[in-house]
Amino acid sequence: AARRSRCLPQALEEQYSPSRWSPRLGSDTVIQAHMAATAAGTRRARASTQTALHVPYGDGDGEKLDIYLPPDPAGTFPVLLYIHGGYWQCLSKEESGFAAPPLVSQGVALVAVGYDTAPRGHMDAMVLQVRRSVVFLVKRFPTTRGVYLCGHSAGAHLAAMVLSTDWTEYGVVPDIKGTVLVSGVYDLEPILHTYVNGALNMSREVARRNSPLLCVPPAAPAGCEVLVAVAQHDSPEFRRQSQEYGQALRAAGWSVSMLDLAGLDHFDIIEKLSEDSYVLTQVGEELPFSL
82: pLDDT strictly greater than 70: yes
DSSP 234: S
- Residue 38: phi and psi, rounded to 5, are -70, -35
Task: Tell me if 254 sits within 8 A of 213, measured CB to CB.
Answer: no
Q: How many other CB atoms sit within 10 Å of the CB of residue 214?
A: 16
Task: Tell me if 239 sits within 8 A of 274, measured CB to CB.
Answer: no
Backbone region of residue 223 per phi and psi (left: phi > 0; alpha: psi in -120 to 50; beta: other values) = left
- pLDDT tier at 73 (50, 70, 90 boundaries)? confident
Residue-level length of the chain:
291
76: pLDDT strictly greater than 60: yes
Task: Tell me if 270 sits within 8 A of 182, measured CB to CB.
Answer: yes
Query: 261: closest CA among 250, 253, 271, 269?
Result: 269
266 included as an active-site residue: yes
In this predicted model, what pLDDT tens digit does every residue of 268-285 receive, in sequence order? 999 998 888 787 776 543
267: pLDDT strictly greater than 60: yes
Residues 229-256 as b or e (16 or more Cβ within 10 Å = b): bbbebbbebbbbbbbbbbebbbeeebbb
Average of per-residue pLDDT across 226-230? 95
Which of 111-115, 137-141, 144-148, 243-247 is predicted with the least confidence, judged by mean pLDDT?
Answer: 144-148
Which of 102-106, 109-113, 140-144, 205-209 is predicted with the least confidence, judged by mean pLDDT?
Answer: 140-144
Domain range annotation of the chain: 7-274
Query: 54: closest CA among 66, 72, 42, 71?
Result: 66
What are the CA-CA distances from residue 88 to residues 59, 155, 185, 221 (Å)? 20, 8, 11, 27
> Which pLDDT score, from 0 to 100, does residue 180 have?
95
Half-sphere exposure of 47 (CA within 13 A, CB side): 6
Q: Averaging pLDDT over each range in 17-31, 52-66, 135-149, which range is the top one?
A: 52-66
234 included as an active-site residue: yes
d(C-alpha 131, C-alpha 158), whole Å: 9
- pLDDT tier at 170 (50, 70, 90 boundaries)? very high
Of 24 and 67, more confident: 67
Task: Tell me if 187 sits within 8 A of 220, measured CB to CB.
Answer: no
Catalytic site residue from 153, 183, 211, 242 = 153
Catalytic site residue from 22, 133, 187, 234 = 234
153 included as an active-site residue: yes
Entry pTM: 0.93
